[in-house]
Amino acid sequence: MIDSISNSQNIIWTSSNPNIAIVSDGIITAVGAGTAIITATTVNGKTASCIITVSNNIISIINPITATVNIGDIYTLPTTVIATLSDGTTKALAVTWDKPAITTAAGTYKFTGTLTMVNGIVNTNNITATTTLIVKFIN
């Protein structure tokens, strides 16, 4: 352990794997899943290290979207959806839909979206986004 007398300005912080975690002034930021060694080195050569493991978050749920419009209305499918992750947090993810929304005929239309993953989030359950578009006759 580095003694408490050391001035934090005299400590050099390093990460063995900046693709996993970076460190600046002793504050560690997770970048990707994996393991890294964080090392603090004083100007007099004393060192202390710790191993950190960064885990991926898993997508738990994406709430389905339902919209109702009149025939001829313009409806654009969303470009992002909110995913609830395994740690309870939420994250906006880009989505690509299987077909465009068309409102020229009355009916109920289903759309399936493929999610674009970002670093630190995985979709091990192959969850997709879904939208139901209800197109009604104008009364």
Task: Give per-residue pLDDT as tens, 54-79.
Answer: 888 899 999 999 999 999 999 999 99
Mean pLDDT of 93-118: 96
Which pairs count as long-range contacts for 110-118, CB under 8 Å and 24+ apart, including other chains? 111/77, 113/77, 113/81, 115/59, 115/62, 115/81, 115/83, 117/93, 118/91, 118/93
Q: Say which DSSP state 8 is in.
A: G
The domains found in the chain, sorted by start residue, are: 11-54 (no CATH), 57-136 (2.60.40)
Task: Give per-residue pLDDT as tens, 15-39.
Answer: 999 998 999 999 998 887 889 999 9
Structure-token match 């009149």, residue found: 70
